[in-house]
A and B are shown apart, each in its own frame.
Chain A
Amino acid sequence: MGLLTDPEQLPGDVVRARFVSPWYPDYALVHSGIFVVKQVEALRDAGHDITVDVPQIFPAPPGPIPRAVTEAMRALAGKAPEAMFASADGTTYIPTPVPTRAGHMGRAEAMRESLALRREIDESGFDLIHAHLGMPTAWAVMETREVPLVVTEHQSTLGSVLAEPAAAAAYGDVLRRAGAFVCVSNHLRDLVVETLGDWAGERIEIVPNIVDLEHIPFKRREKLDFSSWVYVGGLMAHKGVQLLVRTFARYVKDHDPDATLTLVGNGPLRRWVEIFATSRGLGDSVMLTGSVPHEELGAHLDRADVMVHLSPAETFGIAPLEGIGAGMPVVGLRNFGAVNAWGDIAHHCGLLLDLDSGPEEIADAIAELRGSPQRLDLAEGRRKVEERYSGEVVAGRLIEIYQRVLG
């Protein structure tokens, strides 16, 4: 639906919210912050008026940003805002120079400066701000706007933010002053409570990310032979990609020489995967698709009969839930996100293995599951994912929060 910008035309129960998120797709990072996009789309679909501000990080050398630069930014913003702030479809990108080694607090201060500049030329109205990430975003925006604030926390590096004393103190300030504070998983809430104390837990509510199954049809797999593996996500070390490829090599050697692995996604480990697969004679068994639009993900999942996702740490973990939604068993590690999001239905949907499991152990566990797939109830898995994580459900929770905050 289109954006509603004239307050006179808005029905009384329509919320005008301004999202502020450093994670959002732009012309170069087309998959950045998809979970924020899903919230925006779900809220717009429900008839609400959502605009988005994206502080866009411009890495700068260490030390303060020279006055000549800040003055030039101010001059251009005043003279030609559209030249300074790119915008499209209700989204505005705000250049934010962040000095190298500025730390979390320095990053937040840089964001505060750029958001303050944006505010000077922003004439649009909104009822509340929904900031994604307590630090740096919520703190930066709280210092520049005086409307009710809702915060969603979903960063996997929250531990490092809270380990910096000044950033932790600022985080506590955000938590005290926000109208509502949401974490996407219990794990994140526990981290905040551990640092700030029990009072923090009372102010935090849990609203999960949206798992969008619109383009991911459920496929009833008559026969599960676990020979077509799929992984969806960044090709990065912290996603457990090396363990996955080593596990696959082990599985091919010990259990199924015809198995294939398709990796959907891109990242710095792409070259490593190619070299490893070739060196093990798996060049034809390992396929790399690169990044694909979400609309095309369903086709890749349709061709697979097991998703293997061995990330040791996730704050939420959308990809395994999409695998469950597509009707395939999912094999993962018992990370916080997985335990929180689908731990209670893992028995129906696949396997959750101990975090210290090695390639041989995981390959054997998959082979064992192949021998007894009757315990799986994949249709129930899909139903649970829809019931908990659909756009309608999550948007409904957010609207309740917005209305409560707006009184």
Chain B
Amino acid sequence: MRQVALISQTLRAAHCLAYLRPHLEDVVVLTSDPSAFDESGLEGSLRVVTVSPPPELLPSTRLTEGRWYRSVLRWARSGSGLGRWLERTVKRLLWRLRYVDRIVVLRRSTRPRDIDPDTIRTSAMYTRLAEEHGHTPIDRIVVFDVFDLPVALAFGDDHGVEVWVR
């Protein structure tokens, strides 16, 4: 039986993993935060697909993605003592920013979410479900975040797929 798990917001990732563990042979997880499944111990056997608009960059990533960062590093590694000091300082700053990243991730997971019934069938989740179903028919959608239920039900009604909440 091919099952697709929907869990946009991952506060119930432990429930999702516990539920899926016996059914790994044909399961896909659709989520907006795949990092919640990084240390599941199921890497390699669980297919996790990221769905939703790409989240804003985290503060530390925003810093390292910039072109100036690469320029500074290139200059700092030119061999001078000042360069070594500068690189160390930047790395220390990044280390601290990672704490800020964690707070930002937590805040994002608890941000209010509204659902517009008119856009359910054009949502990223619906589109991704359609792609998965087109590739290999889905037998059951299992919803772990009830905010995904409207999309799952709409898709289930449109394509004759069973929907469960667990």
Contacts and interface: CB of A to CB of B under 8 A. Distances in A.
Interface residues of B, number: 29
Nearest to B13: A28
Interface in A65-114: 65-66, 68-69, 71-73, 75-76, 80, 83-84, 86, 95, 97, 100-101
A83 B115 contact: no
A83 B163 contact: yes
B147 A69 contact: yes
A65 B150 CA distance: 12
B108 to A, nearest CB: 10
A27 B19 contact: yes
Interface residues on A, range: 20 to 34
B112 A72 contact: no
Nearest to B118: A68
Nearest to A71: B150
Contacts of B163: 76, 80, 83
A184 to B, nearest CB: 28
B112 A63 contact: yes
B139 interface: no
A60 interface: yes
B71 interface: no
A371 interface: no
Nearest to A27: B18
B35 to A, nearest CB: 17
A61 interface: yes
B146 A61 contact: no
Contact of A61 (B111, B150, B164): B111
Nearest to A97: B146
Contact of B165 (A27, A76, A100): A76
B80 interface: no
B19 A66 contact: no
Interface in B51-80: none
Contacts of A63: 112
A59 interface: yes
Interface string B92-111: 00000000000000000011
A69 B115 contact: yes
B130 interface: no
B165 A69 contact: no
Contacts of B111: 61-62
A84 B12 contact: no
Contacts of B146: 58, 60, 65, 69, 72-73, 95, 97
Most chain B beta carbons < 10 A, residue from A65, A68, A72: A72
Given A58-B145, A95-B146, A28 B165 contact: no
A100 B110 contact: yes
A69 B164 contact: no
A83 B114 CA distance: 24
Contact of B164 (A28, A62, A83, A101): A83
Interface in A159-191: none
Contacts of B164: 83, 86
A27 B15 contact: yes
Contacts of B117: 68
Nearest to B164: A83
Given A28-B18, A95-B165, A66 B149 contact: no
B42 interface: no
B87 interface: no
A102 to B, nearest CB: 11
Interface in B113-162: 113-117, 120, 145-147, 149-150, 152-153, 162
B91 interface: no
Nearest to A85: B165
Contacts of A65: 146
Most chain A beta carbons < 10 A, residue from B149, B152, B162, B164: B149
B88 interface: no
A59 B12 contact: yes
Nearest to A59: B11
Contacts of B120: 68
A63 B110 CA distance: 10
Interface of B: 9, 11-12, 14-15, 17-19, 110-117, 120, 145-147, 149-150, 152-153, 162-166
Given A60-B147, A76-B153, A86-B164, 17 more contacts: A27-B18, A27-B166, A28-B18, A58-B145, A59-B12, A60-B146, A61-B112, A62-B111, A62-B112, A66-B114, A69-B115, A73-B146, A75-B153, A80-B162, A83-B162, A84-B165, A97-B146
Interface of A: 26-28, 58-63, 65-66, 68-69, 71-73, 75-76, 80, 83-84, 86, 95, 97, 100-101
A-B CB proximity, top 6 nearest: A28-B18, A68-B115, A72-B149, A28-B15, A59-B11, A63-B112
23 contacts: A28-B15, A28-B17, A58-B12, A58-B145, A59-B9, A59-B11, A59-B12, A61-B9, A62-B110, A65-B146, A66-B113, A68-B116, A68-B120, A69-B146, A69-B147, A69-B149, A73-B146, A73-B149, A75-B153, A76-B149, A76-B163, A76-B165, A83-B165
